[in-house]
């Protein structure tokens, strides 16, 4: 609900004047970029809200989809997904605030040759999904699809094949 409200408000707000380019002084059929797009606080908040809500929905689906009944330690996978989700949202919020600061002040902070927002995106935001991937790989047999599940699945397939051969 909040997601749809935020998207609706973003579509209803007029874009900044320089968002789509300015008519060139010499060539009227050509557009050129302005000094930069300045977003209002409301727009920045809504951009941040939409991004956070997308991440929360993604993480919530992972959390709901976990099957705890096969684990030796109950709630452990859900705890790791929760920690990963908080980390993901935190890195995204840090990225948003550093990007806005960079755009407003043209910061000269560079990490490994990248401006600070790009470095956070490259070395922070892209590494968090790797954490989810490692959780999936390491916990697949215990949390997602156990050997018992495989045996049940194979039994279903065998019974189906037997039923199909009996009908012929």
pLDDT of residue 7: 74
Residue 166 lies in a domain: no
How long is the chain?
A: 168
Q: Indicate if the pLDDT at residue 105 is higher than 80.
A: no
Model confidence band, residue 94 (pLDDT cutoffs 50, 70, 90) = very high
pTM score: 0.68
The mean pLDDT value for 121-139 works out to 84
Residue 50 lies in a domain: yes
Residue 57 lies in a domain: yes
Quote the mean pLDDT of the chain.
Answer: 80
pLDDT of residue 27: 82
Residue 153 lies in a domain: no
Cβ-Cβ contacts under 8 Å for 51 (sequence gap 6 or more): 92, 96
Please tell me the total count of domains within the chain: 1
pLDDT of residue 37: 57
Residue 161 lies in a domain: no
Cβ-Cβ contacts under 8 Å for 77 (sequence gap 6 or more): 66, 68, 71, 135, 139, 142, 143
In this structure, of 16-20, 22-26, 49-53, 130-134, the range with the lowest mean pLDDT score is 16-20
The mean pLDDT value for 108-125 works out to 86
Residue 28 lies in a domain: no
Model confidence band, residue 57 (pLDDT cutoffs 50, 70, 90) = very high
The mean pLDDT value for 123-139 works out to 84
Residue 148 lies in a domain: no
Residue 130 lies in a domain: yes
pLDDT of residue 167: 64
Q: What is the CA radius of gyration of the chain?
A: 24
pLDDT of residue 36: 58
Domain that holds residue 111: 1-11+40-143
CA distance linking residue 33 with residue 140, whole number of Å: 49
Q: Indicate if the pLDDT at residue 107 is higher than 60.
A: yes
């Amino acid at each position: 609900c909040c997601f749809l409200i935020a998207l609706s408000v973003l579509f209803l707000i007029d874009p900044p004047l320089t968002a789509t380019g300015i008519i060139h002084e010499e060539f009227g059929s050509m557009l050129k970029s302005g000094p930069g797009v300045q977003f209002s606080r409301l727009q920045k908040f809504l951009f941040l809200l939409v991004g956070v809500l997308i991440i929360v929905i993604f993480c919530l689906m992972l959390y709901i989809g976990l099957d705890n009944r096969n684990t030796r330690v109950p709630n452990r996978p859900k705890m790791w997904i929760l920690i990963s989700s908080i980390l993901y949202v935190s890195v995204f919020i840090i990225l948003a605030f550093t990007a806005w600061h960079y755009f407003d002040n043209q910061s000269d902070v560079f990490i490994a040759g990248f401006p600070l927002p790009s470095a956070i995106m490259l070395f922070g935001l892209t590494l968090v999904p790797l954490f989810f991937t490692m959780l999936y790989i390491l916990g697949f047999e215990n949390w997602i699809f156990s050997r018992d599940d495989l045996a049940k699945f194979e039994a279903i397939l065998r019974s189906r094949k037997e039923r199909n051969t009996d009908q012929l």
